[in-house]
Amino acid sequence: MCGIFGIFNHSEAANITYLGLHALQHRGQESAGIICSDSSGFYSHKEMGLVSDIFNEEVLKGLKGNRAIGHVRYSTAGASYVQNAQPFAVEYAKGRLAIAHNGNLTNAKVIRDELQNFGSIFQSTMDTEVIVHLIALSHENSTIERVISTLHRVEGSYSLLILTDKEIIAARDPYGFRPLVIGKIGDSFVISSETCAFDLVQAEYIREIAPGEVLHITQDRIKSYMPFKKVKPKHCVFEYIYFARPDSYMFGRTVYTVRKALGRELAKETHVDADIVIPIPDSGAGAAIGYAQETGLPFELGLIRNHYVGRTFIEPRDSIRHFGVKLKLNAVHDTVKDKRIIVVDDSIVRSTTGSKIVKMLQQQGAKEVHFRVSSPPTAFPCFYGIDTPSRSQLIASSHSTDEINTFMGSDTLGYLSIDGIKKAIGDKEDEFDYDFCDACFSGSYPSKFPLGMGLEQMELFQKK
């Protein structure tokens, strides 16, 4: 769970990257960083915290050069501290290099162990650093060749940006798990995890970087390589369900349109008689609107979100402790009192949010609470860059829908099926081929894992 942004050949490279990262902030809130380059070197700033807290005019002025890459981070591999903030920069025998990575390498540990056995010293615990070591060790002549030979060795998910003194390289793994798009501002190329960043910096969208594509951008040209064996793409379906911003255009569709379609399918599959439909904001909003449109029920705001909950919030020592979800959400008494409510969220992970919301609505006088989820039960962890807890913490891995309903205290609980997702995504006029990874719901992982990786979870899968 990270966002990346880059720009080549623009006099305001740092400022535009700052804006791009701001638009991608939903993809990671732990740390952020920008590295710029000109002919005399790299200029870098990265810290823990939000983009708007880390960068100011003064800092941005110091980031010189007409090309830059940036990163916002939410750790899925490697701990959360500043050494792990990206972009990650090094100086090696063949020059300077910085890298920003969204994804998870499934064979990072195997390669890291191998390299450490030969004496390599790692500065961080991120799997991204493995890529840097492999590039430095490569005997190929040019950076682009070294990057391509490195990418042949790594497995898993990556959308990558690499910056050197004279070029930017953008790459996407052969399955295309994570998004990556390219656009233009005048003569400058911009690359971003999501198109919502292009809208902010007024870049023109060109296209997705294709799964398995490596793009080489230099002063005089842009060149595309397709160096890997072609496989059927496996875009992450959870980007549509929860992670991406609704206003982004991704994998050939607008995220908001897909979310509404998921809500419509959810209504077709699970509807019960009720008075109103309410979302759990913000993540359930798109699906709740689709649900309301399908059923003709009024869409209401029954829960209001406080957008200013920082991770630094300190609860009082005694008396009213453990605010939990109340810090973030509160019920609107007039909307929910005496109503039979359909409450829609995008997913249930541990089920703590859901059960607290059911209680909150009941305390405000709801007559019935029917919990609806615009995705199937999340029963398997993600190894491709979404932060999911281990399988034992995923309530759906060990409990049936009826048991989860009883635990949450709702009147009924309904999930969307995998078939429902397929119908929602295929809600396009042309013929549609389902190119998505839904391993978090189905347990069907597109790639093999190296021995030892996620062993605990894998054993659990086999026992099932």
Query: What is the contact surface with ligand AMP in residues (CB under 6 A)?
Result: 242, 280, 283, 345-354, 386-388
Cβ neighbours of residue 73 closer than 8 Å, sequence gap 6 or more: 2, 28, 30, 31, 32, 84, 85, 86
Least separation in angstroms between residue 1's CB and ligand AMP is 7
Instruction: Give which of 182, 213, 220, 211 is closest to 198, Cα–Cα.
Output: 182
Q: Is 247 helix (H, G, I), strand (E, B) or coil?
A: coil
Two structure tokens written together for 7: 């720009």
Shortest Å, Cβ 464 to ligand AMP: 21
Find out whether the peptide bond into 376 is cis, omega within 30 degrees of 0: no
CB of 258 to ligand AMP, least distance (A): 15
Please say whether the dihedral angle defined by the alpha carbons of residues 18, 20, 21 and 25, taken in this order, is positive or negative.
positive
**CB closer to ligand AMP, 276 vs 348:** 348
Taking the complex as a whole, how short is the minimal distance between the CB of residue 385 and ligand AMP, in angstroms? 10
- β-strand pairing of 340-345 with 276-279: parallel
**CB nearer ligand AMP, residue 387 or residue 411:** 387
Minimum Å gap between C-beta 284 and ligand AMP is: 7
CB of 106 to ligand AMP, least distance (A): 18
DSSP three-state, residue 263: helix
Nearer to ligand AMP, 80 or 202 (CB): 80
Over its C-alpha atoms, the chain yields an Rg (Å, rounded) of 23
> In terms of Cα–Cα distance, which of 125, 120, 129, 67 is closest to 101?
129
Residue 445 corresponds to which amino acid? Y
DSSP notation for 353-410: HHHHHHHHHHHTT-SEEEEEESS----S--SSS-----GGG-HHHHS-HHHHHHHHT-
Helix (H) or strand (E) holding 335: helix 333-336
Of 43 and 238, nearer to ligand AMP (C-beta) is: 238
Residue whose tokens read 């189905």: 442
Q: Which is nearer to ligand AMP, 194 or 345 (CB)?
A: 345
299: DSSP letter: B
Supply the minimum distance, in Å, between the C-beta of residue 193 and ligand AMP.
Answer: 16
The catalytic position among 2, 196, 236, 382 is 2
Distance between CA 24 and CA 326 in Å, rounded? 26
Q: Is 257 in a helix, a strand, or coil?
A: helix
Least distance (Å) from ligand AMP to the CB of residue 280? 6
What tokens were used for 416?
A: 């969307």
CA–CA separation, 245 and 96 (whole Å): 33
By C-beta, is 74 or 198 nearer to ligand AMP? 74
Dist. CA 115–CA 110, nearest whole Å: 9
Q: Looking at beta carbons only, is 123 or 400 nearer to ligand AMP?
A: 400
Nearer to ligand AMP, 237 or 386 (CB): 386
Q: How many CA atoms lie within 13 A of 456 on its CB side?
A: 6
C-beta separation of 134 from 155 below 8 A: no
Phi/psi at 56 (5° precision): -135, 180
Q: Catalytic site residue 437? A: no
Residues forming the active site: 2
